[in-house]
Every structure is written in structure tokens, then in C-alpha cells.
Amino acid sequence: MFGNKNNTILKKNNDFDFSAMNKIGDGTSINGDINSNGDIRVDGKIVGTINCKGKLILGPSGSVQGDIVCANAEISGSVKGNINVVELLNLKSTANVNGEIATGKLSIEPGANFSGSCVMGAVVKDINNNAEQRKSEKVA
């Protein structure tokens, strides 16, 4: 009556549904690394690494001091660190990025500020695979 089977938080096998959007609001500050299997929207301040298997949206008031690794990203705020995006990185007109970018595709709106270098194309997927492999070797 109040929802359908597709909108439930718990699936039949009791795994969490990662399709939900994680939100860090304006005025919130987090010191530490963030790992997510879903999407993330940041309007606050993050000091640390963001590792997101979904899409990262950094709002105009949002800032990240650290590295970002994700599938897709839309940046409207400020980033001081390296950005590694598997598919599409979209820098909006209010974006201010200072760091290295590795991405499959890059879109930059007029007015966006970017200081650093950029690597695009198939090479990025190899970089991601190597980074994941190094991470798993450290854990083992």
C-alpha cells in the first residue's frame, strides 16, 4: 500500500539497497575517508578521500580536500586533490579544481577553473584497475 517491492530498503536477501543517495549537507564538515557503493552529494566540507562506485555530485557550496575516485562526477564546488573518474567528469561554471584529473570523458563549462593536468580515454580504466589491485594487495 505504501510502497512497492522496488523501493524497499532491504532486498529479499537482506543486502542493503545502494541505489539511495548519500547526502552531506551544507554546514557539515567531515575529516576522514568516505567509501560508498552508491551515489553521493556533497554540499559541506570533506577533508579526506572519497571513493564512490556511483556518481559524486559536489554542490556549489561543497569542498573536498583530498582525492576523489568515482564512476561519474559533477563538480560545482572546490576540489584540492586528484580526481579519478571512470566515465564522465563534468566541471560546472562554478567549479574550482586544483589537482590532477584522470577521466574517460571531460566536460568543462565556461567559467570553471582548473589548475593541473588531465589524462583522458582508455588509459583511465587501466589506472583504476591498477589502483584497485594495489589496494587489495595492501589489505592481504
Checking 72-79 for CB contacts under 8 A at 24+ apart, the result is 77/42, 77/43
Task: Kindly state whether residue 8 falls inside one of the protein's structural domains.
Answer: no
pTM summary value = 0.74
In whole angstroms, give the CA distance from residue 85 to residue 72: 6
Task: Kindly state whether residue 28 falls inside one of the protein's structural domains.
Answer: yes
CA distances from 122 to 7, 56, 117, 126, 129 (A): 35, 21, 16, 7, 11
User: Which residues in the chain land under pLDDT 50?
Assistant: 1-17
Cell of 15: 543486502
Comparing CA positions, the residue from 54, 59, 37, 38 lying closest to residue 46 is 59
Q: Which residues lie below 8 Å from residue 109, measured CB to CB, with a gap of 6+?
A: 90, 91, 92, 93, 95
Which residue in the block uniquely carries the three cell numbers 559533477? 74
Q: What is the pLDDT of residue 84?
A: 96
Instruction: Assess contact for 114 and 97: CB atoms under 8 A.
Output: yes
CA distances from 86 to 2, 32, 120, 123 (A): 37, 23, 10, 10
Task: Kindly state whether residue 107 falls inside one of the protein's structural domains.
Answer: yes
In whole angstroms, give the CA distance from residue 69 to residue 127: 11
Q: What is the pLDDT of residue 132?
A: 60
Residue 130: CA atoms inside 13 Å, Cβ hemisphere, count? 6
Q: What is the pLDDT of residue 3?
A: 47
Task: Kindly state whether residue 131 falls inside one of the protein's structural domains.
Answer: no
For the stretch 64-98, pLDDT in tens is 999 999 999 999 999 999 999 999 999 999 999 99
Task: Kindly state whether residue 13 falls inside one of the protein's structural domains.
Answer: no
Overall domain count for the chain: 1
Average pLDDT, the chain: 83
Task: Kindly state whether residue 12 falls inside one of the protein's structural domains.
Answer: no
Q: What is the pLDDT of residue 12?
A: 44
Task: Kindly state whether residue 2 falls inside one of the protein's structural domains.
Answer: no
